[in-house]
Amino acid sequence: MKFFFKHLFIFCFTFSFAQLPKGFVYVEQLIPDIDIELRYLTSNNFVGVPVDGYKSNRLILSKEATMALKLVQEELQNKNLCLKVYDAYRPQQAVNHFMRWAKKLNDTINKALFYPNVHKKNLFKEEYIASRSGHSRGSTVDLTIVDGNTNEPLDMGSPYDFFGEPSWVNYQDLNMTQKKNRKLLQAVMLKHGFRNYAKEWWHFTLNNEPFPNTYFNFPIE
């Protein structure tokens, strides 16, 4: 009986955390209190359906990016704030799904929510979608900040994954609270070794990322 339970425990642990490629970790193992909402696991995204390669609400990043993110989380917690992550490692098969979707110009189910002022045919041209994503290299993350009292994301002036000028880092038509919140997010991420992307206030990539030329394709499970 002891033999059975021993092996049952090993099986359950293996099932819970699949073997990752060397250099990658499940972020929640090192930052257990991080808030995770992988949007591409759901239909609440610009495609309008769950995206290929997303099989579980588990956050995967390179170990280096995770350790840097841990420092961000610890600093924010001193202010009764917390990180909320919408995407991190993204398999290439998900990017391929985006590309197939982009070519179907009549498939615009979530246009009003995510790209109301951008023609779908221009999503590649305006660099909102690309055939390769830094996310697939394992050290890029999409995130925001959550209020520790309300558990609600801070107002950043535009929703996550909104394609348009309101999401640009230096967009100025914001109220003082929105500007303050964006400034806080940018400052704390850059302080701990990440660089931003000018068209997406939520998007950050680790400086000196460990896999700068490798695009991975293992599923999130």
Active site residues: 200
Structure tokens at 142: 């999409």
Provide long-range contacts, Cβ within 8 A and 24+ apart, for 31-36. 31/66, 31/69, 31/70, 31/73, 31/83, 33/73, 33/77, 33/82, 34/59, 34/69, 34/73, 34/82, 34/83, 34/84, 34/85, 35/82, 35/83, 35/84, 35/85, 35/146, 36/84, 36/85
CB proximity list for 135: less than 8 A, separation 6 or greater: 87, 88, 89, 90, 95, 142
Structure tokens at 65: 């990016």
